[in-house]
A = this chain, B = another copy of it.
C-alpha cells in the first residue's frame, strides 16, 4: 500500500471503537487484522509475533529477531521489541502486559488466532477477560475504501486475464494439475502475490465436488471443467469460478448451466442498498429450486472477500447484514449432481450507492472450448 498513514488512521478509528466497546487493547498475532492496522504481513508461526494496540498509549510489536528488521521496514509502529532468549516467553508476556496495565483488562484477539497463542495470553493474564476483535474490526473491514476496491479490482483482473489465457489450453488430454499450474503461473507473472486458496480444476465427475482441489485426472471430450481461481494483490484476494465445457455440451449439463446462469443473474439483481444480504441468497436459491435442483445447491451463495478470502458478509439465509456501498463479496450459485457433474459461476462484486459493480469481468455465458 505504501502510505503508512492509512494504517495509522485505521488504528485511530479502531481505538474509538474500542472505547465504545469497553476494550482495553487489541492483541493481534499475524493475521489480516494485524496487517490492516500495522502494514506488517507474515503468516502465523510457532514463533509468536504479537502486536498490542492499547486504547490509550502507543502500540507495540514483539517479535523474534528474525522479523525485527522486516517489521521496522514495513510497519508504521515504532515500538518494536524482540523476545529475549534468556527469559521464558510466558514471563516476558506477563511483564509486557503489566507494563501496559493490561493484566486485568479486556483484551480482544482475532477469531482465527491459534489456540496455543491464545492460551499463552490467557496464562499470562489470568485475570484479563478476552473477546474477539471482530466487533471492533469487522464493521471497519467490511466497508472497503476506494483504494481497497482498486486493489481488489486489480486482483480480480489478474484472475480474469489468467482464465482468458488458459482457456485455449483446456482440452482433451490435459491434466487438471497442469491447468492449475498454468493459471497460477499466469497470475504470478502479472504480479499476484500468490493463490489465496487451493486452485480448483475439477473436471468431469470431479466437478460435482465443490471444493475438490485438483488432481491428475486427464480431461475428456464433453467434460465440464470447473476452474475456481484467485489472485492476491496488495494482500487483497480475488475469487472467480467458471465451468467450461470441452467440446459439445450434453443437454442435461446445458440445462443445469442455464439454471446456474439465471440464478447468478437473479442474485446480482437482488443487490440493492439496504437489503439484507440473505435476499441475494434467496434470489439464487429460488431460481434453482424452481428448476428442481434445490437439493443440489449445497452451499451458500457467496462470502465477503478482502484481506481474508472468506470474511463477512456471508451471503446466506439467516444473514441479516444490510448491504452498504463498499461491501465486496462473491456471488456464486452452483449445482452439483453427485457422481456426474457440477456447475458453478462466481464473480466478485462491490455494492454501490445504487446497486453493484462487477470486479470480475469475464463473460459468464456457456462456453465450449
Chain A residues engaging chain B, CB cutoff 8 angstroms? 42-46, 64-70, 73, 85, 109-116, 118, 132, 177-178, 180-182, 184-185, 188-189, 191, 193-195, 197-199, 208-213, 216, 298-299, 310, 314, 317, 338
Q: Which residue of B lies closest to A67 (CB)?
A: B211
A332 to chain B, nearest CB (A): 12
Q: Which residue of B lies closest to A73 (CB)?
A: B209
Q: Which residues of B contact A111 (CB under 8 A)?
A: 114-116
Is the Cβ of B299 less than 8 Å from the Cβ of A198? no
A212 to B73, CA, bound (A): 11
Is the Cβ of A188 less than 8 Å from the Cβ of B197? no
Interface centre among A111, A115, A118, A314 (most CB of B within 10 A): A115
Q: Which of B112, B212, B299 contacts A115 (CB 8 A)?
A: B112
- Please provide the 10 A-B residue pairs with the shortest distance between their CB atoms, ordered closest to farther: A181-B188, A111-B116, A185-B185, A65-B298, A112-B114, A66-B299, A113-B115, A181-B189, A115-B118, A70-B209
Q: Which of B69, B185, B208 contacts A184 (CB 8 A)?
A: B185
Q: Which residues of B contact A185 (CB under 8 A)?
A: 181-182, 184-185, 188
Is the Cβ of B194 less than 8 Å from the Cβ of A195? yes
Q: Which of B65, B178, B188, B191 contacts A299 (CB 8 A)?
A: B65
Beyond the given pairs A113-B115, A114-B114, A177-B188, 15 more chain A to chain B contacts, judged by CB atoms under 8 angstroms and listed by A's residue number, are A43-B198, A45-B310, A46-B314, A66-B299, A68-B298, A70-B211, A111-B114, A111-B115, A111-B116, A112-B116, A180-B188, A181-B185, A184-B184, A184-B185, A185-B188
Q: Which of B118, B188, B299 contacts A64 (CB 8 A)?
A: B299
A181 to B184, CA, bound (A): 8
A121 to chain B, nearest CB (A): 10
A185 to B195, CA, bound (A): 12
Given contacts A114-B111, A115-B109, contact A42 B211 (CB under 8 A): yes
Q: Which residue of B lies closest to A46 (CB)?
A: B310
Q: Which residues of B contact A191 (CB under 8 A)?
A: 177, 216
Q: Which residues of B contact A199 (CB under 8 A)?
A: 194
A111 to B44, CA, bound (A): 12
A211 to B73, CA, bound (A): 13
Given contacts A65-B299, A185-B184, A189-B181, contact A43 B209 (CB under 8 A): no
Q: Which residues of B contact A314 (CB under 8 A)?
A: 46
A115 to B182, CA, bound (A): 36
Interface centre among A42, A213, A216 (most CB of B within 10 A): A213
A299 to B113, CA, bound (A): 23
A109 to B119, CA, bound (A): 12
A366 to chain B, nearest CB (A): 24
A89 to B65, CA, bound (A): 42
Given contacts A66-B298, A69-B338, A115-B111, contact A189 B178 (CB under 8 A): yes
Q: Which residue of B lies closest to A339 (CB)?
A: B69
Q: Which residue of B lies closest to A110 (CB)?
A: B115
Is the Cβ of A198 less than 8 Å from the Cβ of B209? no
Q: Which residues of B contact A114 (CB under 8 A)?
A: 111-115
25 contacts between A and B (CB under 8 A): A43-B198, A44-B112, A45-B310, A46-B310, A64-B299, A65-B299, A66-B210, A66-B211, A66-B299, A70-B209, A70-B211, A73-B209, A109-B115, A111-B114, A111-B116, A112-B115, A113-B114, A114-B115, A115-B115, A116-B132, A177-B189, A181-B185, A181-B189, A193-B213, A194-B195
